[in-house]
Structure 1
Amino acid sequence: MRELLVTGGAGFIGSNFIDYMIENTSYHITNIDAFTYAGKKENVKRFEGIANYRLLECNISQKDELNRVFDRQYDAVINFAAETHVDRSIESAVPFIDTNIKGTLNLLDAVLENKIKQMIQISTDEVYGSLKYEDPAFTETTPISPNNPYSASKASADLLVQSFFKTYKLPLIIIRCSNNYGPYQHCEKFIPKVIGNALKNQKTPLYGDGLHIRDWVHVKDHCRAIYMVLEGGKFGEIYNIGGNEERTNKEVLNFILGFLGKDEQLIHYVEERKGHDRRYAINYEKAFRQLGWSPLVSFEEGLTETIEWYKRHLKDELGE
């Protein structure tokens, strides 16, 4: 049985990826998470009792903790563990440096020392910076140009990964994905926040003019891409994963309000976020050409399912 180490598997994308792997493969999965505010034990309760799964509490920024996890020979490591919320990084960059940079370095050292056969670094399209409306979408050769502490920390981690590939010839791959949405996402993120606030008839803040554009991809499509990279990706490569679903933040918010039968008066325009990127767009041609991957879930279909999921899971909170 192949052994897979998943870091940050109690978070949004990590827990969805474990779902995918349990459903579609026979990998034995070791899930490690520091269980900070974003990585919740509730997110992984559904895996309890599964024979080919184990859960260990571990903070990858603490090398002693991480070393204890390597009590078996892993075939691959997938690093989801990260601080990810831009607003929090603007308030304090320290946790982002600790987890996203120092933690990634610790993992790379462990991969080198333990002769792991493969590591995939889960990055973000935000390392590329911001696009103008008329610019072509990001490709894997677009220079990185991060504009906030979060994206700078992820770009730094990517550079470390690339340096370990070049210097030590380690079997490393980077995936940069556009904005994910779907079940189990933390309520501080845009789509869950809008859904939760609308269900409670509370106003939702919208930065600036609300016309910032993001490319959205359903988390299930992202997880399928990660698996395809795991099975067929080339070491030393970067793979962009996107949904080809560009929407302004205001369009997304209005879709959710309309679906829930709520009025646009719940939109509360607030002062622009510092360093706010105007537009992201991903060209995933390389992933399609090399791996045969393309998104399957349309934004309207996926967002409808996501709204329904949060309606069910917010019932207790809302007293329904």
Structure 2
Amino acid sequence: MAKMLVIGSKGTLGLRLVEVLQIRGHEVWEVDLQHHLGDKYIRADISEYRQLERVFEQNYDCVYLLAAEFGRINGEHYYDTLWKTNVIGTRNILEWQLKKGFKLIFTSSSEIYGEAAEPILTEDLPLKKTIIQHNDYALTKWANEVQILNFEKKYQSPIVRLRLFNAYGPGEYYHSYRSVVCLFVYRALMGIPYDVFEGYHRVFMYVDDLIPTIANVFNNFKPGEVYNLGGTEYRSVKDLSDLILKYTEGDPKLVNYLPEDKHNTVSKRPDISKAKADLGHEPKVTLEEGLPLTVEWMKKIYQEGH
């Protein structure tokens, strides 16, 4: 099978992607920032070109670039790290691709759709109209996509972009910059107040519905393509919070209801027909099925033995 490199291999999605690629018979090498013992693991910061020299001493058939500084609030508090990692880091990988010739699969974000008010978000929307992104994280991910578009045009670099929409599930460890599901579940379990913006809607995608699709990209690789990877359930953030309170037996008084989040988009609903057709993307796990599994995992991690 193929020789793969997963950059960002110790993150929530990276860990699972490595497992799936290995199960499918690929030789998988890993890069992340953690110190970790492994024959096929290399510690490197993608924003530091020199550190990548060890990584690319050998050749790979395909590189998955998952490594990034993630999250809106994280990007406001640590904007310098965000821009260095996401923009300089991605540029470094694009430069190495020119030298080594591997296929590149890049994970972007639904955040690039910014202020777009269309009821359904199609992949070609950012090229059809001007979109203003609301926060630095979104700006860096769109900058990444423009970097990629430029390399595709100038050098015919073989790249596929994936825009992820609200993935959640077991394996996401809590800190205050995490995804909305992780934040709500942890805080409900621990009795920590949290905010819910009313009138906001999202699609939510269980991690086991996402990772096989990401792994499928290699065998269905179409250079220059971009795909929305989201779920089919379009639910309000209030509905999400209500379900989490139910499954965690959390106190409803923990929730502070607010009308607007100035740094975020009111509603995001993707068209995922391309991913279904090309990548076999078929989300099946509902919130009513995925949330209890997520809650039970977080209980084991954070409550047992305390």
Question: TM-score, normalization: structure 2?
Answer: 0.91
1:206–1:269 CA contact under 8 A, matched in 2: yes
Q: Partner residue of 1:199?
A: 189
Within 1, Cα distance between the matches of 2:258 and 2:268? Answer: 21
Partner AA of 1:34 in structure 2: L
Within 2, Cα distance between the matches of 1:152 and 1:5? Answer: 26
Query: Does the alignment pair 1:92 with 2:48?
Result: no
Q: Partner residue of 2:143?
A: 156
Question: TM-score, normalization: structure 1?
Answer: 0.87
Q: Partner residue of 1:244?
A: 232
How many residues are aligned here? Answer: 299
Partner AA of 1:279 in structure 2: S
Report sequence identity in percent: 29
1:131–1:278 CA contact under 8 A, matched in 2: no
Q: Partner residue of 2:20?
A: 20
Q: Partner residue of 1:224?
A: 212
Q: Partner residue of 1:168?
A: 155
Q: Partner residue of 1:38?
A: none
Q: Partner residue of 1:34?
A: 33
Consecutive unaligned residues in structure 2, runs of 5 or more: none
Within 1, Cα distance between the matches of 2:98 and 2:290? Answer: 39
Within 2, Cα distance between the matches of 1:99 and 1:149? Answer: 12
Question: 1:210: how far off?
Answer: 3.0
Question: 1:273: how far off?
Answer: 4.0
Question: 1:290: how far off?
Answer: 2.4
Q: Partner residue of 2:40?
A: 54
The more displaced of 265-274 and 143-152 is: 265-274
Within 2, Cα distance between the matches of 1:161 and 1:313? Answer: 38
Within 2, Cα distance between the matches of 1:158 and 1:183? Answer: 29
Within 2, Cα distance between the matches of 1:164 and 1:67? Answer: 21
Question: 1:70: how far off?
Answer: 0.9
Structure 2 counterpart SS, 1:307: helix
Q: Partner residue of 1:139?
A: 122
Question: 1:298: how far off?
Answer: 2.1
Q: Deviations over 1:229-267 (max 9, x none)?
A: 111031011111110112222211110111122231111
Within 2, Cα distance between the matches of 1:219 and 1:78? Answer: 17
Structure 2 counterpart SS, 1:276: coil
Query: Does the alignment pair 1:128 with 2:118?
Result: no
Q: Deviations over 1:171-190 (max 9, x none)?
A: 11101121110122241322
Partner AA of 1:158 in structure 2: E
Question: 1:220: how far off?
Answer: 1.8
Structure 2 counterpart SS, 1:155: helix
168, 171, 176: which one aligns with 1:184: 171
Within 2, Cα distance between the matches of 1:271 and 1:240? Answer: 28
2:114–2:264 CA contact under 8 A, matched in 1: no
The more displaced of 187-196 and 93-102 is: 187-196
The more displaced of 3-12 and 262-271 is: 262-271
2:228–2:270 CA contact under 8 A, matched in 1: yes
1:206–1:250 CA contact under 8 A, matched in 2: no
Within 2, Cα distance between the matches of 1:160 and 1:131? Answer: 21
Question: 1:272: how far off?
Answer: 4.8
Question: 1:26: how far off?
Answer: 1.3
Q: Deviations over 1:132-159 (max 9, x none)?
A: 4xx3211111115422100100000011
Partner AA of 2:110 in structure 1: D
Within 1, Cα distance between the matches of 2:173 and 2:258? Answer: 21
Within 1, Cα distance between the matches of 2:247 and 2:263? Answer: 31
Q: Partner residue of 1:105?
A: 91
Q: Partner residue of 2:281?
A: 293
Consecutive unaligned residues in structure 1, runs of 5 or more: 36-40
Q: Deviations over 1:3-53 (max 9, x none)?
A: 111111111111121122223x11111111123xxxxx7xxx8xx77xxx6
Partner AA of 1:194 in structure 2: F
Question: 1:271: how far off?
Answer: 8.3
Within 2, Cα distance between the matches of 1:79 and 1:220? Answer: 19
